[in-house]
Structure 1
Amino acid sequence: MARAVKLNISLEGALNKAVEKSKFRVFLILPIIILTFLAIAIKTTILCTQNISERLLSDNVSQVPNILHQVSLAPSKAIRKNIYDRNGILIASSLVTSSLFAHPNEMIEKDYAAELVHKVLPELSVAYLKEKFFSEKKFQWIKRNLTPKQKYAVNSLGIPGLYFEAETKRIYPHKELFSHVIGSVGVDSQGLSGMEKVIDSLNKHVTDNEVRDYINTTMDVRIQNIVHEELSSQMEKHKAVAAAGIVMDATNGEIISLVSLPDYEPNFLKSITPESFFNHATLGVYELGSVFKPITFAAAFEKNLIKMNSKFDATQALKIGRFRISDFHPENRWLTTPEVMMHSSNIGTAKIGEIVGINGFKDIYRKLGFYERSGIEIQEKASSNIPNNWGQTTLFTASYGHGLAITPMHLIAGYMPIVNGGVLYKPTLIKEEKDPEGKEVFSKSTSDIMRKLLRLVVARGTATKANISGFLVGGKTGTAEKIDENGRYSKTSKVTTFVGAFPMNKPKYLVLTLFDDPKPSKDSYGYATAGWVAAPAAGKIISRMAPILKIMPQDENDEKIKAELEITGVDIR
């Protein structure tokens, strides 16, 4: 019995020694195993992430499963320049996004894969996804420009054969506000319209490997917003089908604001319609009516063909062949030169036009650039429609803006030398560091006379609703009948325009407003003319923009100002 106990003790002691020895071996080998697996994990992580573009780190891709599905932005992809207004406010920029594509030949269980992707991207139907996944093509786009959340959800599915490619998406933070200036880009970041299209044609974008730079425009977000609001309000009030507005620096041709309505949301290309895409300010070609009269007057004064005290017979309508030229509000008397302008007399202006002559008109239109497309840096620009062959009828009607058609951009540029001392500058949207070079069209003396006449029109003539106290506004209205479907002038459908400048003792800004086919409102007493539609809108724009641009109101009774702008020694009633 004692021997059996002794044997058990011996066996138990041997077993304990074996266990102790095994524990020692485990503790010795375990750190080696842990270090080995840790090294493998580190090496795997390095291999998985070493080819990921640094720019994608902002998407937190290091936290996303199946990171090898991400393809970096190709070096050849173009990064479009940021675009800013004149005060450094961002107008357009590009963001790096991810787009989903498939290699169908690498995919398995495609029906199931379509169901899974549809759950995280419900806007893509199962049928659409199956069509893509079962395609015989080696490459299929599935969805462009995913959000980070969408990308994470798709990547988490771990479906073989699905990949991401880094792309850029153009963002327009002001939405439709600059749609007809900046334009838009396509899904592949190619310029489709506006400045974006012109930038492409001039190669004014940079590749990813180059320094990212930017474009400073002459536009002012604050003024653009004012013009947009006032045009929209007046367009709604008078049920017009379209409107356009331009604000230009009269001293250098810089465009401060350009609005065309209707407009579109460039962030959503599907919102574009033919009507909203059309730029009425630069592509619309209109017979603009009486806003042409200052050009006729300036041409006559430049050649010393008329004087302030010249008189013209407006006692009765003019008859030219089968045509009859009359005044909207006839005075039925002889009119002095200022009275012809103030009362917007077609009869008096036609007689001045007859003095200027066909060659005189062609010469001044050529100097003003009416025979060429505007030099503004956007894609949508139209040429003027000016007759090649002129007869007496064209000579008479052209003098007051009928029988020929130009764009609003041509018109406001044409007013530049009339008010600024005689110099024409190329309209521009690009802010340059150096001063632009202009060309002289009129003498300073002609410009001085025209500023007095334009001030008279706003103070006492057809544009009094643009007369904002203290800002010495001058300008001219124009109401032109549109051509109907039968090729005849309509008595009910019109284009109304106002072009003005302020302050007229030293003009700094030009303002144009145009409304296509406005209707009378209860406040306009049955009228839908420029004096009731375009002029009030311009006045509101001027009253709001002047303080922002630090144009201070002036005392209109100041003797110096009166000496600069009053017309004396001539009968005006």
Structure 2
Amino acid sequence: MMKLWRKRKSNAEASTPSIVVDGARKAIGGRAKNRVVMTMAVFFGIYATIAGRLVYLGLQDPEASSGPVARITASRPDIIDRNGEVLATDIKTASLFAEPRRIIDADEVIEKLQTVLPDIEVEQTYRKLKSGTGFVWLQRQLTPRQQADIMQLGIPGIGFRTEKRRFYPGGSTAAHILGLTNIDNQGIAGMEKYIDDQGLADLRASGLVEADNLKPVKLSIDNRVQHIVHDEITRALEKYQAIAAGAVVLNAKTGEVLAMASVPDFDPNNPYNALDKDRLNRMSAGVYEMGSTIKSFTTAMALDSGKVTLDSTFDARRPITIGRQTIRDFHGKGRVLTVPEVFIYSSNIGSAREADVVGIEGHREFLKRIGLLDRLQTELPEVARPTEPKVWKKVHSITIAFGHGMSTTPLQTAVGAAALMNGGRLMNPTFLPRTEEEAIARSTQVVSPQTSADMRYLYRLNAEKGSGKRAEVPGYRVGGKTGTAEKVVNGRYAPGVRFNAFLAAFPMDDPQYIVLSIVDEPKPEKPGLGATSGLNAAPVVANIIRRSASFLGVKPDFGHENEAKLVSYQ
């Protein structure tokens, strides 16, 4: 029994280690399996997250993911002239942005960028880079060279967005007509602003504008004539050492503006000085006493009243004194003058007596009827309001008769003159194409056809025998009126400080175009010469007509003889 018990005991002791080892192995194997499962789960989760993110990103707009919402609304229509030549268009440009969250060393980034963009604002850029936001603009509208140079720097956390900007192939040639767009390609001046105001801005805001569905906007401008006008007034500015010059070419039959420019101006491709006060569009946004060009309207008013004819006479032997004002002639004849003589000799006394025949109320009514006292209605936003006396008295009527005491815009003066030349119809000027039928339908008869015929006769006579001789262009039958006005300095008229203008029409047998030039504060071309409008503003008009008439479709007629004859009272 004892042996048997010992044997069983030894067998039990021998089997115990085997059971313990086997259990330990099973436990260790279970834990290892759990770890493998957990590891696989973790990796599966990671890859699932990555896959999900990739799917999400794949469904996103790649343009939108690199910055602000894609600017499909920034497209603008091309602007073209009447012949289809491009005046303004959109071009693609790169803009530099940064993702501040990815910027490690802002100082290093700025230091590198300064090698390409030396004018970058350091403090402002530093604040942007340290803002911790997801997106900030650093520089808009880079040149291709700047973009390439920055890319070579290899700076992490910065990138480029393709945007659209406006490009003007003619530079400053038509700057005051075309206007400007801002950094977001929105119109802020000129015809660019007009286009936005016609609904483009609303369409862009709603995302309905794309480059492919925008038709070009055609203007009435002839770019060839525009170039000539800009060139001639730029030369005049230098030649006569003036502070400003300008000109406009207007279709007398339709009211279309074919060309208009004012210098000094600006380059809309780089408009850093566009808001300087001396770069004002003087043709439509500046008001001036237009001097003797206003005598055109004084004489037309007298003729249209029915109280005066071309055979009427006015006593210009002595100055007119009214209150503290004494009205004299610049080159007085000291005798009685006929209406044609009053006009070609530019008699202040004769013009004052013409206004006196009509009366104060009739005088103001006529100027308002012909559009010189109200703000001009046209597409261009930059239009000034004329000025006049708050209460008209006789002294005001007399001085306004020869161009002092009332201010209006040069463009407005040209528009009024068109009515005197085209048979008596006043039509608002337009920078968009317009047919003659459309113009007539929108026009107002302001003077009689007979008055218009008389004024055509007087205009041609003045170019042949009066102060407008230097505006003559052989073959084109030019007519016109000079205007030399003393400017007000410190509340008083300053002798020798002049605002000159010449108002012309051609061809005078059937005027198709009005040309008005201005020269502000001209100096004598040579020592000993004068600086009146016949010596500077008139030649500018002659040069414009000589160079542009063929483009305007006016053929020269060297065999045409004018029947204008001077009527003299003895």
Report the AA paired with residue 448 of structure 2: S
CA shift at 1:127, angstroms? 6.0
Cα distance 1:505–1:49, how it changes in 2: closer, same or farther (>3 A)? farther
User: What is the aligned counterpart of 1:535 among 521, 535, 538?
Assistant: 538
- In the alignment, which residue of structure 2 is the partner of 1:86? 82
Q: Establish whether residue 212 from structure 1 lines up as the match of residue 214 from structure 2.
A: yes
CA shift at 1:108, angstroms? 2.6
Q: Establish whether residue 455 from structure 1 lines up as the match of residue 464 from structure 2.
A: no
Structure showing greater Rg: 2
Deviation track 1:219-255 (CA, whole Å, cap 9, x = no partner) reads 1111111111211212211111111101000001000
Separation of aligned partners in 2, 1:340 and 1:125 = 64
- In the alignment, which residue of structure 1 is the partner of 2:312? 310
- In the alignment, which residue of structure 2 is the partner of 1:496? 500
User: What is the count of residue pairs matched by the alignment?
Assistant: 510
Cα distance 1:119–1:470, how it changes in 2: closer, same or farther (>3 A)? closer
- In the alignment, which residue of structure 2 is the partner of 1:403? 405
Cα distance 1:435–1:106, how it changes in 2: closer, same or farther (>3 A)? same
- In the alignment, which residue of structure 1 is the partner of 2:512? 508
CA shift at 1:301, angstroms? 1.3
CA shift at 1:109, angstroms? 3.7
CA shift at 1:391, angstroms? 1.1
Report the AA paired with residue 185 of structure 1: T
CA shift at 1:557, angstroms? 4.8
Deviation track 1:180-215 (CA, whole Å, cap 9, x = no partner) reads 111111112122221122222222355444711221
- In the alignment, which residue of structure 1 is the partner of 2:489? 484
Separation of aligned partners in 2, 1:338 and 1:115 = 75
Report the AA paired with residue 169 of structure 1: R
- In the alignment, which residue of structure 1 is the partner of 2:167? 171
- In the alignment, which residue of structure 1 is the partner of 2:525? 521
Report the AA paired with residue 387 of structure 1: P
Deviation track 1:89-146 (CA, whole Å, cap 9, x = no partner) reads 1111111222121221232343443344444545547666434312355542111112
- In the alignment, which residue of structure 2 is the partner of 1:344? 346
Q: Is the 8 A contact 2:74 2:186 kept in 1?
A: no
Q: Is the 8 A contact 1:264 1:276 kept in 2?
A: no
User: What TM-score, normalized to structure 1?
Assistant: 0.83
Q: Is the 8 A contact 1:73 1:166 kept in 2?
A: no
Cα distance 1:149–1:462, how it changes in 2: closer, same or farther (>3 A)? closer
Q: Is the 8 A contact 2:313 2:569 kept in 1?
A: no
User: What is the aligned counterpart of 2:91 among 80, 83, 95?
Assistant: 95
Q: Establish whether residue 203 from structure 1 lines up as the match of residue 203 from structure 2.
A: no
Deviation track 1:520-549 (CA, whole Å, cap 9, x = no partner) reads 1217x4311111111111111111111222
CA shift at 1:300, angstroms? 1.4
- In the alignment, which residue of structure 2 is the partner of 1:571? 568
Report the AA paired with residue 313 of structure 2: K
User: What is the aligned counterpart of 2:478 among 464, 473, 482?
Assistant: 473
Cα distance 1:547–1:391, how it changes in 2: closer, same or farther (>3 A)? same
User: What is the aligned counterpart of 1:251 among 250, 253, 258?
Assistant: 253
Residue aligned with 1:505, SS: coil
User: What is the aligned counterpart of 2:553 among 544, 550, 555?
Assistant: 550
Deviation track 1:14-57 (CA, whole Å, cap 9, x = no partner) reads xxxxxxxxxxxxxxxxxxxxxxxxxxxxxx9xx8899456xxxx
Separation of aligned partners in 1, 2:485 and 2:71 = 55
Task: Indicate the larger mover: 373-382 or 81-90.
Answer: 373-382
Q: Is the 8 A contact 1:479 1:497 kept in 2?
A: yes
Task: Indicate the larger mover: 250-259 or 113-122.
Answer: 113-122
Q: Establish whether residue 110 from structure 1 lines up as the match of residue 115 from structure 2.
A: no
- In the alignment, which residue of structure 1 is the partner of 2:295? 293
Q: Is the 8 A contact 1:283 1:407 kept in 2?
A: yes
- In the alignment, which residue of structure 2 is the partner of 1:191? 187
- In the alignment, which residue of structure 2 is the partner of 1:145? 141
Q: Is the 8 A contact 1:71 1:163 kept in 2?
A: no
Residue aligned with 1:270, SS: coil
Separation of aligned partners in 1, 2:125 and 2:58 = 28
CA shift at 1:165, angstroms? 2.7
Report the AA paired with residue 509 of structure 2: N
Cα distance 1:209–1:169, how it changes in 2: closer, same or farther (>3 A)? closer
Deviation track 1:137-186 (CA, whole Å, cap 9, x = no partner) reads 55421111123444355456554432333321111111111111111111
CA shift at 1:572, angstroms? 6.9
Q: Is the 8 A contact 1:69 1:162 kept in 2?
A: no
Q: Is the 8 A contact 2:91 2:166 kept in 1?
A: yes
Q: Is the 8 A contact 1:262 1:275 kept in 2?
A: no
Q: Is the 8 A contact 2:336 2:569 kept in 1?
A: no
Residue aligned with 1:355, SS: helix
Residue aligned with 1:245, SS: strand
User: What TM-score, normalized to structure 2?
Assistant: 0.84
RMSD of aligned Cα (Å): 2.7
Residue aligned with 2:284, SS: coil
Gaps of at least 5 residues in structure 1 are: 1-43, 54-67
Q: Is the 8 A contact 1:69 1:164 kept in 2?
A: no
Separation of aligned partners in 2, 1:121 and 1:238 = 41
Cα distance 1:161–1:527, how it changes in 2: closer, same or farther (>3 A)? same
Deviation track 1:53-90 (CA, whole Å, cap 9, x = no partner) reads 6xxxxxxxxxxxxxx98558725533112101111111
Residue aligned with 2:272, SS: helix
Residue aligned with 1:539, SS: helix
Residue aligned with 1:448, SS: helix
- In the alignment, which residue of structure 2 is the partner of 1:229? 231
Cα distance 1:136–1:348, how it changes in 2: closer, same or farther (>3 A)? same
Identity of aligned residues (%): 37
Separation of aligned partners in 2, 1:102 and 1:293 = 64
Q: Is the 8 A contact 2:236 2:540 kept in 1?
A: yes
CA shift at 1:216, angstroms? 0.5
Separation of aligned partners in 1, 2:123 and 2:384 = 45
Cα distance 1:557–1:269, how it changes in 2: closer, same or farther (>3 A)? closer
Report the AA paired with residue 326 of structure 1: R
Cα distance 1:225–1:209, how it changes in 2: closer, same or farther (>3 A)? closer
